[in-house]
Amino acid sequence: MEKITEKNESSDFDELTKKIEEEILEEERGIYTEKTLEEAYNPKNVGELEAPSGAARVTGPCGDTLQMHIKVEENKIVDCKYITDGCGASMACGSVVTELVKGKTIEEALTVEDKDVLSVLGGLPEENIHCSVLAMDTLRAALEDYKSKNKSKNKS
Ligand code: FES
């Protein structure tokens, strides 16, 4: 009879974890595009900015929240970061939105649409469309925040 040692238990556990992770990834490949999985597992621009020029935090109908910060210099978005407690699709959407607006002027960023995010990702399942809407709503709110702060600055 094999003696169960701590080492055996932990390597069995590691193997089981690896197997489960592979199964989940395989299942996700059937649901999401490769691009969505890539952005969800290796998201860009995650974090917060110190003294952002515009900021917003929006909670979607699913109860998940996304926060976005933009840094604007001479009317250009020079940096954009986000954090979310949402699903993998919202991670992917936040990543794509930040990449889409970096380097754009405020006016150009306002023309970015939900369908642009979906087009980069190669689409999302119907039940995840609201995740891209959440990312875009947060961007628009951050742009509005920047505009309203700037308006009051210009007045004073
Ligand atoms: Fe809530 Fe995707 S952001 S389910």
What pLDDT digit, counting tens, does each position of 73-110 carry?
999 999 999 999 999 999 999 999 999 999 999 999 99
Q: What is the pLDDT of residue 156?
A: 47
Q: Which of 91, 114, 131, 132 to mutate to test the pocket of ligand 1 (most atoms within 8 A of CB)?
A: 131
Q: What is the pLDDT of residue 6?
A: 66
Residue 1 has pLDDT above 60, yes or no: no
Per residue in 52-73, pLDDT tens? Answer: 999 999 999 999 999 999 999 9
Nearest ligand 1 atom to alpha carbon 134: 3
pTM of this prediction exceeds 0.75: yes
Q: Cα(51) to centroid of ligand 1, in Å?
A: 27
CB 81 within 8 A of CB 53: no
Distance (Å) from CA 57 to ligand 1 centroid? 14
Q: What is the pLDDT of residues 107-154, one digit of tens each?
A: 999 999 999 999 999 999 999 999 999 999 999 999 999 999 988 665
Q: Which residue, by CA, sits nearest to atom 4 of ligand 1?
A: 87
Q: Which two tokens stand for residue 118?
A: 């979906």
pLDDT of residue 102: 98
Q: Is the pLDDT of residue 9 over 80?
A: no
Give the residue numbers annotated as catalytic, written as ranges. 62, 131
